[in-house]
Each structure stands twice: as structure tokens, then as C-alpha cells.
Amino acid sequence: MTAPDSHALHLLYTEHNGWLQGWLRSRLGNSSDAADLAQDTFMRVLVARNVTSIREPRTYLSSIARALMIDRFRRRAVEDAYMTALAARPEALDISPETRLSILETLTAIDSMLDGLGERTRSIFLAVQLEGLSYVAASELLGVSVTTVKKHLICAMTHCLLLVDD
């Protein structure tokens, strides 16, 4: 980072960090999480290396922070669902922390991939791929034709493949 960029980042941080933490605290109800997300927000600015081109700092920072909050909420929802599924199993599983983290990261990545799909496409994809339903069973469950199931499944698979290639 060049000296002008470093100075601009320092200025941005000193002028807006307190405001950003307050903004986050009002939405999260937790000072610790607000401080963490504010720090993550400024790390994103640092990595983007575009601090000198920021014209509306609070709008820019709140936009980044909002996306980070959504990611955090999504990850927690995936973790909660995973822990609920584990608790519902009749036999206890002894999973290492590394394996658990890997599973959660994979589930979060899949959830993010599916986030870009429409509701019907997402429902069809999950019914066929996650629940193991046949095309006919999925069409009956969702009240659509088998052709619609196939069309939406192709769309979902293409979407996922394009994201994986990126």
C-alpha cells in the first residue's frame, strides 16, 4: 500500500470506525460482534485497495458491513441447522473440530451458491439433490410438471457449475 493510500485508510478508520461500530451495535445488540464486524469491514477496504476513490464513506462502509452481517447470520443458521441435524441422529457421532469446520464451510458455500437461485429453482434443486426425490416425486410435491422440474434442475446445476468455475 502506498503512503497516500495508507494515510487515506488511517483517516477513514479514525473518522468512521466509532460510527460504524455504533451502527453495527444497534443492529446486532452486541458490542463484541459489532467490533469484530467493523474490523472485518476495514479489512475488506484494505484488501480492495480503493480507499482513495471512496466518495461516500458511510454508505460504502455500511454496505460492506451489511453484507458481512448477512454472511454471519447465514453461517449461524447453517451451523444451527447442522447441530440440530446431529442432535436428531440416534447414534452419537465423534467428529473432530477440523472435520466439523470443513463440513460447516462446505454447507455455507453451498448455501451461498443456492442463494442466487429463484425460490422455485432452489426448492426443486434441494428436493432432488438433498432429499433424493425422483423428478416425478419432486413434481408432485411442488405441484409442477416433470418438465418444469428438469428445466429448473438444469438451471440450478448450470448456476452452481458457473460459480465453481469462478
Q: Is the dihedral of CA 71, 77, 78, 79 positive or negative?
A: positive
Q: Are residues 52 and 103 in the same domain?
A: no
Residue that terminates a domain, selected from 26, 55, 88: 88
Residues sharing a CB contact under 8 Å with residue 85, sequence separation 6 or more, in sequence order: none
Q: Are residues 12 and 61 in the same domain?
A: yes
Mean pLDDT by 10 residues, the chain (166 residues): 74 93 92 93 87 88 91 81 74 76 79 80 85 88 92 85 66
How do residues 93-112 score in pLDDT, each as one tens digit?
677 888 878 888 877 777 77
- Domain hosting 27: range is 6-88
